[in-house]
Amino acid sequence: MRPEFCLDVRGDYACFTRPEMKVERVSYDFITPSAARSVFESILWKPEIRWRMERIEVLSPVRWISVRRNEVGAVVSARNVAGAMQSGKGQLGLYVEKERQQRAGLFLRDVAYRLYARMEPVKGEAMGNLAKYTEMFQRRASKGQCVNQPYLGCREFDARVRLVASPDGEPEPLTSLDGDFGWMLYDMDFTRPADPRPMFFRAQLTRGVLDLTQAEVRS
């Protein structure tokens, strides 16, 4: 049996943006599987392994906050970057004052989740020595070490992460949160790296628990 790990993840704010919203950021009601996976990857990412999300437990009520903030509405041109690499010089500056846009967002606040994921070997040393990576993750998670700061949808919304050795004695999921929450982003399909495709599933919570082992994923 491949090892399963559990993380307690909390934050003051979160935004798991719905892709159908083109301009304003509007969050899903709770964390998406891809965002949950990124929390595990922020602690340990290796090309030899991958994380498969199995279960999400919502621990706090869904609370919303509306925020208007400044964002940059442009990126540096890839053509300019390529030209600068070839010639050794070029204009790569991005003037924030000219590209600033004010946008509204509907975010989550005071979020808390318990995330379960399994570590799966993909290639290389992990195929015959998964215990090495298991011990590596447990050591890093217990000490609060990470590859990059875990975040909740947007990088400015940092997450507080704690390794849960045993769910016994931990807070119960929010049993009042129950029902069908519609189609939710599951992850991105990178089978063709030049043309990644989004995958969706029907998010159905049962007493605050999202069982991803039964999710029917569609492209």
Enumerate domains of the chain plus CATH numbers: 4-70+107-214 (3.30.70.2660)
Between CA 28 and CA 30 the distance in angstroms is 5
Sign of the alpha-carbon torsion through 38, 59, 176, 63: negative
- Number of Cα atoms under 13 Å in the Cβ half of residue 107: 21
- pLDDT, tens digit, 9 for 90 and up, residues 64-107: 999 888 777 777 778 888 888 888 777 777 777 777 778 889 99
- CA neighbor of 39 nearest in space, from 189, 197, 208, 163: 163
SS3 track for 1-45: CCCEEEEEEEEEEECCECCCCCCCEEECCCCCHHHHHHHHHHHCC
> How far does CA 28 lie from the centroid of its chain?
12
- pLDDT, tens digit, 9 for 90 and up, residues 95-118: 777 777 788 899 999 999 999 999
Backbone φ, ψ for residue 173 (5° rounding): -60, 160
In the prediction, which pLDDT does 143 show?
A: 93
Query: Is the pLDDT at 51 greater than 80, yes or no?
Result: yes
In the prediction, which pLDDT does 73 show?
A: 73
- pLDDT, tens digit, 9 for 90 and up, residues 156-198: 999 999 999 887 888 899 988 999 999 999 998 888 888 889 9
How many CB atoms are located within 10 Å of the residue 30 CB? 25
Kindly state the DSSP code that residue 86 receives in the 8-state scheme.
H
Question: Which token pair is 101?
Answer: 């846009």
When comparing pLDDT for 21 and 122, which is higher?
A: 122
Question: In the predicted model, what is the mean pLDDT of the chain?
Answer: 89
- 219 confidence band (pLDDT: 50, 70, 90): confident
Query: Is the pLDDT at 42 greater than 90, yes or no?
Result: yes
Strands 100-121 vs 49-58: parallel, antiparallel or unpaired: antiparallel
Query: Is the pLDDT at 41 greater than 60, yes or no?
Result: yes
- 1 confidence band (pLDDT: 50, 70, 90): low
pLDDT > 90: percent of the chain = 59
